[in-house]
């Protein structure tokens, strides 16, 4: 297919914040994603106490699922509203603190300590700041990244995962000439070339 039509499209952080303010969050799944239920075993691979990363996390309820299963969840999200809604909608007490390495960034952490959400751009993170992860749930993340930033995003994700990690990626197949995105169309051939 012709993905050329989406190549130049850019959605700014301000536009994302506006979507949250206006409640234009059709991507949010109140019931969680059936594909994570289906492939949970692939993500966990029989292991317990994992560090699981949620890039561009929004207020994904799957973060609560994994925390309840005893894993450590780390997410990153530019919208502070989204992060606060996550904690309040699950009635989870939290504290917030600045992130010394990233100017303007805040980290919101559940009082129990097993969910940490960074409020900043994902491009501000590195493994020096957040460590490395055993698993990644990438839904509404690679496909939400501006096409011009995809390689940078993939390089960062590769840097953030341990050698023996599992990475679940959800993409959306459709004709990119008929919808401007996001979600953007990321064909399998591109996933292969991005992640090697």
The interaxial angle of helices 80-89 and 13-22, nearest 10 deg, is: 40
Q: Is 137 annotated as a binding residue?
A: no
Q: Minimum distance from CB of 46 to ligand SAH (Å)?
A: 25
Long-range contacts of 129-132 (CB under 8 A, 24+ apart): 129/99, 129/101, 129/102, 130/53, 130/74, 130/76, 130/160, 131/51, 131/74, 132/51, 132/160, 132/161, 132/162, 132/165
Q: Does 181 bind ligand SAH (CB under 6 A)?
A: no
Stretch that binds ligand SAH, among 34-42, 96-104, 127-135, 136-144 (CB under 6 A): 136-144
User: Residue 2 or residue 89: which is nearer to ligand SAH going by CB?
Assistant: 89
Q: Does 53 bind ligand SAH (CB under 6 A)?
A: no
d(CA 122, CA 76): 6
Candidate list 82, 117, 142, 186; residue touching ligand SAH; CB under 6 A: 82
In 58-162, which residue ranges form alpha helices assigned H by DSSP? 62-68, 80-89, 127-130, 150-160
Candidate list 72, 79, 114, 165; residue touching ligand SAH; CB under 6 A: 79
Specify the 3-state DSSP secondary structure of 162. strand
**Site string (24-43) toward ligand SAH, x via CB under 6 A:** ---xx---------------
For ligand SAH (CB under 6 A), the number of binding residues is 20
Q: Is 19 annotated as a binding residue?
A: yes
Q: Nearest CA to 52 among 33, 66, 38? A: 66
Q: Does 136 bind ligand SAH (CB under 6 A)?
A: no
Q: Minimum distance from CB of 37 to ligand SAH (Å)?
A: 14
Question: Binding site residues, as ranges?
Answer: 16-27, 56, 77, 121-122, 139
Q: In the complex, which residues of this chain contact ligand SAH (CB under 6 A)?
A: 13, 16, 27-28, 56-58, 60, 76-79, 82, 121-123, 139-141, 144
Q: Binding site for S-adenosyl-L-methionine: which residues?
A: 16-27, 56, 77, 121-122, 139
């Amino acid at each position: 297919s012709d993905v050329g039509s989406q190549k130049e499209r850019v959605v700014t952080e301000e536009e994302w914040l506006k979507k949250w303010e206006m409640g234009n969050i059709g991507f949010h799944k109140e019931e969680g994603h059936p594909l994570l239920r289906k492939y949970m075993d692939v993500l966990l691979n029989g292991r317990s106490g994992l560090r699981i990363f949620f890039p561009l996390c929004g207020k994904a309820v799957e973060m609560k699922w994994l925390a309840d299963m005893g894993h450590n969840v780390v997410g990153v999200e530019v919208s502070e509203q989204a992060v606060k809604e996550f904690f309040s909608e699950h009635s989870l007490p939290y504290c917030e603190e600045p992130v010394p390495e990233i100017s303007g960034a805040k980290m919101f952490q559940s009082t129990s300590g097993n969910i940490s959400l960074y409020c900043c751009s994902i491009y501000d993170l590195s493994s020096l700041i957040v460590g490395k992860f055993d698993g990644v749930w990438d839904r509404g993340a690679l496909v939400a990244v501006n096409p011009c930033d995809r390689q940078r995003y993939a390089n960062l994700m590769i840097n953030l995962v341990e050698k023996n990690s599992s990475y679940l990626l959800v993409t959306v197949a459709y004709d990119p000439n008929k919808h401007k995105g996001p979600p953007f169309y990321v064909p399998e051939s591109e996933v292969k070339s991005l992640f090697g």
